[in-house]
Structure 1
């Protein structure tokens, strides 16, 4: 069945805007890390200044919004990714006020989408997803009122962490857990929530509590997630488990660095990027071969090539975060390799999709 031209065109425009947000965020990160210098173009300075906003509420807000819209199958849910990418475009063109409005609309719709999911299926993981949506909504509203503060930044990260934790809780729901598992997770979520409230109130203890919550959550995921078992399998399941367990290790590192930064240790870059790259991007690499076919209806052929971008990502993080703490040059080189790993992963997904098509065309 041929889809109507307006829908195909709208999807193409949306994907182009998602790509622009991602490329803008990556370019901004390279400029901030000293890997490259901006030229006179104002949008490049905007990319550097709004790096975090381009990556989280713009890019990830759109990507997760698309995934959730596909799941609920209601047209109005696509307002979340549309408003998210428009917000990113506004940031790049120097219209921060319009961007904050777009982000607020995107997050408001996103809360409604997740409330609909809870109504259809009331379960611990769906309530966690609703909670993460509320955190995103409050963060985006605060961004419009106060700008890019440390509290807003932590809340954006909390949105991503809670979303990932909820999805892993869903995947592991059939496992038998220790009776203390759920109460411990509840305590972690409470601590994370209290830390966000404290950060908005400029409380001195809040950053330490945020870091501690990340460390405990990393331990919880490492102990109770199904990846602990699937690491002993083969193929795609083992690859996903490797991505997940490496991500949990970086989540713990991020929590320790967040605590150290709060104590005046100068670990801000390590805290932010151990979380944003080591944890979040490792989760993306692990889930993409499964989520992309479900969302975009593009099937991929899995093989060992997927380990190459994963290895580059984690090796470059080691260079950036541990070597870069003492050497700005190593930090710049590490950041460049971080971006290279993401580009390599995109190419891997493209070639894996081509491989699948060729194999099935040959056998049809």
Structure 2
């Protein structure tokens, strides 16, 4: 049958059909390329004399990590869950935006593509919330809107430092929403859900107030974040599954340790801003982005990767190595930040990067074992 003989209804159905797994792989690869380039730029910022194609890449450490990697991977995961091709416009746009920024295209082109991708994610999540108005979908929608807001502010000329809180809120709320969704197996009482909802609204209100009262809002937001962390730990099923064995226990250990780092980030955010000079900000951001977010990535990867690629990941206890290296190197980095030990912080940053590389290597090895066992 020729393309012209396909009726409009059939063409519409084909367009709304899910994207085959092989066509998702380039998006996943571009997301991980953003991760590698972001880590490389971060190490150069720490003082390692690694070559960079362009000096401007130093300024892209945060954007490549937050939007190029996390934005693309989360957008891809959400598109797979939606099962409709239009949703894949989101991760496609963010992957393209990262490529444009790295290639040296005019900044509005790259940032605009990132904003477009985050807008698609927000629309996709809003459609899910419209059809199922639950607390976890509202939390996921709030996270997507935070990412969109941050990218739009950046496109409008805001400094990256002023946009980072919006990107951080995107990741925190996305993870919180996903964990809330799993809590349906053991749903919290209605009063507990209302408490979480109130904390979420307060968290968002303080994020907005940060534009006018940055220091006061950040301190109050750290308190709210600490309370939300305690709530998530209290109701997360990981507290029960950690008693099991194998992959289930590994995932639970990764998730519970992630909550530990989120609490540390919130506590560091309560310290006086002048403590340890500018290094306190480094400790706050990396305990959140590396400690909390990447511990969650490590825990979820053996489950999410097969859903996205259809490649099974065979679990092996060696997975604990990249998790332990991340924790140990991050603890060293926090100590160096607070102590003002520049050389130690540089070494800790390198070890952070090696933990991410080890995670990728162990995951690839798990995929290979899974293919042999299939």
Same fold by TM-score, threshold 0.5 exceeded? yes
1:339 aligns with 2:353: yes
Q: After alignment, is 328-337 or 114-123 more displaced?
A: 114-123
Note the residue ranges of structure 1 that are not aligned, 5 or more in a row.
Answer: 1-5
Aligned to 2:172, the other structure's residue is in SS state helix
1:83 aligns with 2:93: yes
Q: CA deviation at 1:217?
A: 1.6
The match for 1:310 is 323
2:255–2:295 contact (8 Å) kept in structure 1 = yes
Q: CA deviation at 1:73?
A: 1.3
2:150–2:167 contact (8 Å) kept in structure 1 = yes
1:247 aligns with 2:258: yes
Residues 234 and 92 of structure 1: CA distance in aligned 2, closer, same or farther (over 3 Å): same
1:92 aligns with 2:102: yes
Partner residue of 1:321 out of 334, 347, 353: 334
Distance 2:335 2:225 in 1: 19
Q: Deviations over 1:118-151 (max 9, x none)?
A: 2332221112111111111111100111333444
- Pairing of 1:1-364 with structure 2 (within 5 A): 11-34=24-47, 36-39=48-51, 41-42=53-54, 45-94=55-104, 95-178=106-189, 180-260=191-271, 262=273, 266=277, 267-326=280-339, 327-360=341-374
Q: Deviations over 1:66-114 (max 9, x none)?
A: 0011111111111111111111122222332211211111111111111
Q: After alignment, is 139-148 or 165-174 more displaced?
A: 139-148
TM-score between both structures, scaled by the size of structure 2? 0.89
Aligned to 2:30, the other structure's residue is in SS state helix
Note the residue ranges of structure 2 that are not aligned, 5 or more in a row.
Answer: 1-18
Distance 2:182 2:284 in 1: 27
Distance 1:194 1:265 in 2: 29
Distance 1:204 1:276 in 2: 20
Residues 7 and 172 of structure 1: CA distance in aligned 2, closer, same or farther (over 3 Å): closer
Distance 2:264 2:325 in 1: 18
TM-score between both structures, scaled by the size of structure 1? 0.91
Distance 2:62 2:150 in 1: 13
The match for 1:3 is none
Q: CA deviation at 1:261?
A: 5.4
2:28–2:73 contact (8 Å) kept in structure 1 = no
Distance 2:88 2:222 in 1: 34
Q: CA deviation at 1:38?
A: 4.6
Aligned to 1:173, the other structure's residue is in SS state helix
Distance 1:107 1:113 in 2: 10
Distance 1:175 1:239 in 2: 20
Q: After alignment, is 14-23 or 239-248 more displaced?
A: 14-23
Residues 264 and 175 of structure 1: CA distance in aligned 2, closer, same or farther (over 3 Å): same
Q: After alignment, is 150-159 or 59-68 more displaced?
A: 150-159
1:309–1:344 contact (8 Å) kept in structure 2 = yes
Aligned Cα root-mean-square deviation (Å): 2.0
Q: Deviations over 1:172-191 (max 9, x none)?
A: 12215355421221222122
Q: Deviations over 1:311-344 (max 9, x none)?
A: 0000010111113432111111111111111111
Distance 2:299 2:162 in 1: 28
